[in-house]
Chains A and B, each alone.
Chain A
């Protein structure tokens, strides 16, 4: 289970249907939308094979239309550039709480009516909140686009939040927090990691908010959030599927065009001060299996930064470590040394706000977290000293290329890619140049970032300790045969 994704995105609906994956922890599946045009493939077969159009309404609403005519369906997703990064201490979680309230009725439609109307049309709708945005989406047969656009535009301007509805919904959110965070040891570990790695940045609190803040929250906090951020000039509408741009444009004008733009509050940066030494945090939770996460400070890709090459190289580094089944961490730590039963490397290049480059692992039987931590660091050191091979680099780039092709099978993944790029401050038009830049990363680039980004001073180590384990490291002991 991609721990970081689970921990950072909260949804209104209940998505965690039971899955019988016995290997839940071991089968870390990641569908990447990253891309490249490896192997000299022509660009025509990728990004721009699907017509994409953008325009901006007079009120500042940005609209992007992706035409994909394989099936008679359409996906509408409205991204607001407001997530937990924009919250202030004391009302953490309010972005996500407002997301829930957006389904609780408007001046025109009563509670639940949004969902009933969408369901009657055969649509399915949901929403999610992340650090950098909150997004609402509806999938529907294409002839109903106008109706769902009308509903979405209605709740952009006419939300009715009452104290009574709020009191009921905040209980649901607290149940969600219990389900997806408090009762999941690995999510508790991630929460503690973020809170330790960051002192000042709002990245320190969980997207779903601290439970105490949820308990103290009032309908007025949600209302204020709505008034502050839910304006057309703070939103990006992405429509994809069996549609034509001209008709989407006229419908967007019709439904969203009259909503007035509003001045947006200044975003205070809340920058994280320089870390000056290693930090550690330990979590005890009812788990039978310990776990360690090493998190190094990194930044996302920033369009105008001198360091933007670093973001590309860090992405490739993460893939060299863990981008295919026989990549370095699995090969060395799980298979050859039998130190770990599960490993993961993660870095998000396209995002707003600070990012962590993380290495995570679960020790194999009889191996200690201390050994594992040392081994993870030595994998980074080895790359810093000896670099990576041309073959490894080629494999990673082939993965980028094939993932791009496979990503086209899902309209949802196309829309997410466009929307999240926009939210992070990159135009969707930057996606192909990003692909090219990823593809141009050299072995020297990877070696260079491996040498520069992984000092102990930028490191936070989080460990999950089952209650019965001692806090001192266990002696190294092989269980079998000796």
Chain B
């Protein structure tokens, strides 16, 4: 769940989605850039700082170990709703400012601050973007600290937000893409929490008490990672980190999570949908963050169906046969093994043709691996495009947060190009064979042609 609070909606230029869309993909690093500084606050939070004084702005992201995998059974959506509700009012207790939702938002509007939240399977991220000039920055930080430390999680606002989320779900659940993703998660992860998706029923069941206890259990400094990027020096960053991380709940570590279980065989799920296109997802659990096979798989996947349209899948499905506007494959590593997935959409009456082309392309790739020329082209692309992954504060923030949350080494960015370059054809092929098998795949086809 994400609620982005951007400052302005004058559609002065009409490019909002373009801006968001162009910045895709997991980063590669940069050779001559600002270094990452890291330390731990007295309260136990990990802090990462990248100084960049070119623009008078500052981005701060706090990740808590409070992602949707901690949702209790029948409470899917709790993690997301908790993060979402933090900014709907703060308490008036000792050390707390006691602001209503409208006061929070009006204050931010008056100083140009933006607060947003994103929740994925592993963590909840709260973000503040502010001008770095002291009076505005300090006012923004005071509001931000309040929503982290003193959320009221008011019942009345919960009633409203439950309804709005249900409305949003009702919109998306009819859409084939959302239907396919939900079915795919369930097919790939089964009973593991990564496989759950919120629905109108699980959202309707969320109570204020659920939110308060989730907050108390997961929004702790010991499990927080604070990423700071922008116009701010080390001393200021230390003060900011301490201001934001004090007075958070203190709680014991949660129960261990069940392991992600590999698929035992192949499955195929077909769902009806009146849309004109079929949406197809194929995949299985693959690797976790930090897996030693990450780099060989990154390179191998670039050949098979990574970002560009010149991949094998792009060539076979789109360029040669005109079957789809988009076809991709990706590994999505998480704290526990995340999915490998192939996705495409095509006109319903050619869905089986497209699926056959995808399966054949994948089987050939698993059998033979990439050619040397393909491997070289993929490595070239990944290494040469490295500087593009770090050309804005926004991109730095995302990457630094990932490094912090998953405990990747601090020299991760510096060593990234060399590690990509070191991948051999044999390694790429072996890693792919090890983690992807055509006999252990879930296929979801939404908008299946109606049987004759």
Binding site for B on A (CB under 8 A): 1-2, 4-6, 8-9, 11, 13-18, 20-35, 45, 70-73, 111-112, 115-116, 119-124, 126, 128, 130, 139-141, 144, 167-176, 178-180, 182-185, 241, 286-289, 315-316, 318-319, 322-327, 331, 334-335, 338, 341-342, 344-351, 362, 364-365, 394-396, 398-403, 405-406, 408-413, 416-417, 420, 480
- Asked if B345 CB lies within 8 Å of chain A CBs, one says yes
Question: How far apart are the CA atoms of A289 and B21 in the complex, in Å?
Answer: 26
- Asked if B308 CB lies within 8 Å of chain A CBs, one says yes
Determine, out of B241-249, B251-259, B375-383, the stretch whose residues face the partner at the interface.
B375-383
| Contact residues in A for B21 (Cβ distance below 8 Å) | 11, 15-16
Residue of B with least CB distance to A365: B163
Give the top 3 A-B pairs by smallest Cβ distance, nearest first: A122-B384, A14-B326, A402-B112
Least CB distance, B28 to chain A, in whole angstroms: 9
Question: How far apart are the CA atoms of A349 and B3 in the complex, in Å?
Answer: 26
Question: How far apart are the CA atoms of A407 and B6 in the complex, in Å?
Answer: 12
Residue of A with least CB distance to B31: A72
| Contact residues in B for A23 (Cβ distance below 8 Å) | 1-3, 84, 164-165, 168
The listed residue (A335, A400, A402) touching B10 by CB distance below 8 A is A400
The count of residues in chain B whose C-beta lies closer than 8 Å to any C-beta of chain A is: 107
| Contact residues in A for B198 (Cβ distance below 8 Å) | 22
| Contact residues in A for B56 (Cβ distance below 8 Å) | 45, 405
Question: How far apart are the CA atoms of A406 and B101 in the complex, in Å?
Answer: 24
| Contact residues in A for B15 (Cβ distance below 8 Å) | 5, 9, 31, 33, 413, 416, 420
Contact with A along B16-41 (1 / 0, CB 8 A): 11111111100000101100000000
Question: How far apart are the CA atoms of A20 and B112 in the complex, in Å?
Answer: 27
CB pair B106 A122 closer than 8 Å: no
Question: How far apart are the CA atoms of A232 and B382 in the complex, in Å?
Answer: 33
CB pair B308 A119 closer than 8 Å: yes
Question: How far apart are the CA atoms of A325 and B120 in the complex, in Å?
Answer: 23
CB pair A32 B33 closer than 8 Å: no
Least CB distance, B111 to chain A, in whole angstroms: 7
CB pair A365 B167 closer than 8 Å: yes
CB pair B19 A25 closer than 8 Å: no
Which has the most chain A C-beta neighbours within 10 Å: B164, B166, B318, B323?
Answer: B164
Residue of A with least CB distance to B307: A124
CB pair B181 A18 closer than 8 Å: yes
**Interface CB pairs A-B, < 8 A, 19:** A5-B17, A14-B325, A14-B327, A22-B1, A32-B8, A71-B387, A122-B381, A122-B388, A130-B14, A141-B388, A176-B325, A179-B277, A179-B345, A289-B167, A341-B167, A399-B8, A400-B8, A403-B7, A405-B131
The listed residue (B5, B277, B318) touching A325 by CB distance below 8 A is B5
Question: How far apart are the CA atoms of A116 and B311 in the complex, in Å?
Answer: 10
| Contact residues in A for B3 (Cβ distance below 8 Å) | 23, 26-27
Least CB distance, A396 to chain B, in whole angstroms: 8
Least CB distance, B120 to chain A, in whole angstroms: 7
CB pair B170 A288 closer than 8 Å: yes
The listed residue (B105, B106, B171) touching A288 by CB distance below 8 A is B171
Apart from A24-B168, A175-B322, list 19 A-B contacts with CB within 8 A: A11-B21, A15-B22, A17-B328, A20-B181, A22-B198, A26-B167, A29-B6, A30-B9, A33-B13, A112-B309, A122-B385, A168-B322, A287-B171, A316-B10, A326-B101, A348-B12, A348-B13, A365-B167, A398-B110
CB pair A348 B11 closer than 8 Å: yes
The listed residue (A172, A178, A350) touching B322 by CB distance below 8 A is A172
| Contact residues in B for A32 (Cβ distance below 8 Å) | 6-13, 16
| Contact residues in A for B120 (Cβ distance below 8 Å) | 20
Question: How far apart are the CA atoms of A86 and B132 in the complex, in Å?
Answer: 45
Contact with A along B302-325 (1 / 0, CB 8 A): 000001111000010011111111
Question: How far apart are the CA atoms of A123 and B326 in the complex, in Å?
Answer: 19
| Contact residues in A for B394 (Cβ distance below 8 Å) | 409-410
Residue of B with least CB distance to A100: B325
Question: How far apart are the CA atoms of A409 and B300 in the complex, in Å?
Answer: 32
Once A6-B17, A338-B160, A403-B7 are accepted as A-B contacts, the answer to whether A411 and B388 lie under 8 Å apart by CB is no
- Asked if B386 CB lies within 8 Å of chain A CBs, one says yes
The listed residue (A14, A31, A286, A349) touching B328 by CB distance below 8 A is A14
Residue of A with least CB distance to B382: A122
Least CB distance, A124 to chain B, in whole angstroms: 6
- Asked if B364 CB lies within 8 Å of chain A CBs, one says no
Residues 86-124 of B at the A interface (beta carbon under 8 Å):
101-102, 105-106, 108-114, 120
CB pair B105 A168 closer than 8 Å: no
The listed residue (A27, A183, A347) touching B2 by CB distance below 8 A is A27
Least CB distance, B40 to chain A, in whole angstroms: 28
CB pair A9 B10 closer than 8 Å: no
Residues 294-353 of B at the A interface (beta carbon under 8 Å):
307-310, 315, 318-328, 343, 345-347
CB pair A122 B55 closer than 8 Å: no
CB pair A406 B309 closer than 8 Å: no
CB pair B8 A29 closer than 8 Å: no
CB pair A4 B14 closer than 8 Å: yes
- Asked if B57 CB lies within 8 Å of chain A CBs, one says yes
Once A18-B177, A175-B324 are accepted as A-B contacts, the answer to whether A364 and B14 lie under 8 Å apart by CB is no
CB pair A182 B276 closer than 8 Å: yes
CB pair A168 B387 closer than 8 Å: no
Residue of B with least CB distance to A19: B2
| Contact residues in A for B16 (Cβ distance below 8 Å) | 2, 5, 29-32
Question: How far apart are the CA atoms of A412 and B395 in the complex, in Å?
Answer: 13
| Contact residues in B for A8 (Cβ distance below 8 Å) | 14
Once A364-B163, A408-B55 are accepted as A-B contacts, the answer to whether A319 and B322 lie under 8 Å apart by CB is no
Question: How far apart are the CA atoms of A322 and B114 in the complex, in Å?
Answer: 15
| Contact residues in B for A111 (Cβ distance below 8 Å) | 319
Which has the most chain A C-beta neighbours within 10 Å: B131, B171, B181, B326?
Answer: B171
Once A32-B8, A32-B10, A179-B345 are accepted as A-B contacts, the answer to whether A22 and B380 lie under 8 Å apart by CB is no
CB pair A409 B392 closer than 8 Å: yes
| Contact residues in B for A1 (Cβ distance below 8 Å) | 17
CB pair B10 A183 closer than 8 Å: no
Question: How far apart are the CA atoms of A442 and B21 in the complex, in Å?
Answer: 35
CB pair B392 A410 closer than 8 Å: yes
The listed residue (A16, A326, A364, A408) touching B105 by CB distance below 8 A is A326
CB pair A406 B320 closer than 8 Å: no
CB pair B346 A124 closer than 8 Å: no
- Asked if B191 CB lies within 8 Å of chain A CBs, one says no
Once A17-B24, A34-B8, A141-B387 are accepted as A-B contacts, the answer to whether A171 and B1 lie under 8 Å apart by CB is no
Question: How far apart are the CA atoms of A71 and B56 in the complex, in Å?
Answer: 17
- Asked if B129 CB lies within 8 Å of chain A CBs, one says yes
Question: How far apart are the CA atoms of A139 and B384 in the complex, in Å?
Answer: 11
CB pair A115 B310 closer than 8 Å: yes
Once A30-B16, A175-B323 are accepted as A-B contacts, the answer to whether A346 and B9 lie under 8 Å apart by CB is yes
Least CB distance, A272 to chain B, in whole angstroms: 19
Residue of B with least CB distance to A338: B160
Contact with A along B50-77 (1 / 0, CB 8 A): 0010111100000000000000000001
- Asked if B42 CB lies within 8 Å of chain A CBs, one says no
| Contact residues in A for B321 (Cβ distance below 8 Å) | 168
Question: How far apart are the CA atoms of A184 and B276 in the complex, in Å?
Answer: 10
Once A29-B4, A289-B170, A326-B105 are accepted as A-B contacts, the answer to whether A335 and B160 lie under 8 Å apart by CB is yes
- Asked if B85 CB lies within 8 Å of chain A CBs, one says no
